[in-house]
Amino acid sequence: MPDELSRPVFADVLAARQRIRPYLAPTPLVEAPTLSEQLGFEVLLKLEFLLPIRAFKVRGGVNLTAAEHAAGTLPPAGLVAASTGNHGQSVAYAGRLFGAAVRVFVPESANAVKVRSMERLGATVVKGGQDFDAAREAAEVHAAAAGARYVHSMNEPLLIAGVATGYLEALEQAPAADTIMVPMGGGSGASAAGLVAKAVSPAIRVLGVQAEGAPALHNAYRTGRLEETRAAETAAEGLATRVAFSLPLAMIRDTVDDVVLVSDQELYDAQRLLLRHARVLPEMAGAAGLAAASRLRPELQGRRVILPLTGANGSDHELARVLGGGWAGA
């Protein structure tokens, strides 16, 4: 498991940008004037769901796989990952780019939209276990036995450096921004945002946003220990992890200013606000930044806030709930 010496630094982010440039175009950062008027601060939406797998994680998968392909270190047995969906899609997409076989372990309840996407990208998908962490344990066992490269969803410096390219883009697109609010499951996005923000300007405030039903990393941020919860009780699969991991925890404690918990209802409300006022519909995890921003509205007055919409791979059930949930009056 990586130690603190393995942390990516800003130079790694610059290298990642060069590495992924042939494969991934920058995503737009757009103003949201109606939301800004309603909330009392400037809202800037980073549209990461426009990336090829409709999620930010593809930046990390492409960076890691491109680097290892160039170094000749990808094993014949290919790549193995565990995922609730977006990390698996990222590894599958990168594996297809560089000719590596990919096997992804997912929970039994995995989002069918994301599973179909992984399979279309050529990955073998293995279902098993009640949640992400059970799938992760199965993936680790399989990778060790098969001699495959296990791509951890969090403890991978190249993944975090790749993800960080999105935050570098955002701060170049909006250099006067002073706050970033990042959805946080295992913490790769928050680690990446903190790394870039503090390198660009230590005054930029970075807040991680986690589901209150899956607060392992929130708790670890407070205690400094690798905390674990018995369950991840949230419908937002992108936030549903019950353990904290060493590399993102170390980075987040150094570069993230606070971690906020939000309820599933607040996530649904944020989705409806985005649909009504910005005409975009991220998955629940992708709306976490706005959920927290709405709660922290008084202290954000007058600020310029970047909200990364990190993914738009909501299940059919999730979309039906948002569309049928009275969003027009939100």
Same domain for 36 and 118?
no
Same domain for 72 and 51?
no
Q: Are the CB atoms for 125 and 114 separated by under 8 Å? A: no
Low-confidence ranges of the chain (pLDDT < 70): 1-5, 325-330
Same domain for 195 and 115?
no
The token pair that represents 193 in the structure block: 């945002």
- Look-up: residue for tokens 């962490």? 133
Chain-centroid distance, C-alpha 275: 20
Q: What is the CATH number of the domain that holds 63?
A: 3.40.50.1100
- The pLDDT tens digits for 69-107 are 999 999 999 999 999 889 999 999 999 999 999 999 999
Chosen domain end from 150, 172, 192:
150
Same domain for 140 and 208?
no
Per-position DSSP letters for 193-252, written without gaps between them? HHHHHHHH-TTSEEEEEEETTS-HHHHHHHHSS--B-S----S-GGG--SB--HHHHHHH
Q: Are the CB atoms for 63 and 19 separated by under 8 Å? A: yes
The token pair that represents 281 in the structure block: 């519909």
Chosen domain end from 150, 166, 185:
150
Beta strand residue intervals within the chain, DSSP E: 29-31, 42-46, 79-82, 102-106, 124-127, 149-150, 179-183, 205-211, 258-262, 304-308
Beta strand residue intervals within 69-204, DSSP E: 79-82, 102-106, 124-127, 149-150, 179-183
What's the pLDDT at 130?
A: 84
In terms of Cα–Cα distance, which of 62, 27, 32 is closest to 47? 27
Chosen domain end from 127, 150, 173:
150
Same domain for 131 and 26?
no
Number of domains in the chain: 2
The token pair that represents 323 in the structure block: 């569309």
Same domain for 73 and 192?
no
β-pairing verdict for 149-150 and 29-31: unpaired
Question: 149: which DSSP letter?
Answer: E
Domain range holding 231? Answer: 4-56+157-329
Same domain for 137 and 248?
no
Same domain for 48 and 177?
yes
Q: How many residues does the chain have?
A: 330
Same domain for 232 and 308?
yes
What's the pLDDT at 2?
A: 40
Q: Are the CB atoms for 268 and 211 separated by under 8 Å? A: no
The token pair that represents 44 in the structure block: 């800037």
Same domain for 133 and 71?
yes
What's the pLDDT at 231?
A: 87
What's the pLDDT at 132?
A: 83
Same domain for 242 and 217?
yes
Same domain for 169 and 272?
yes
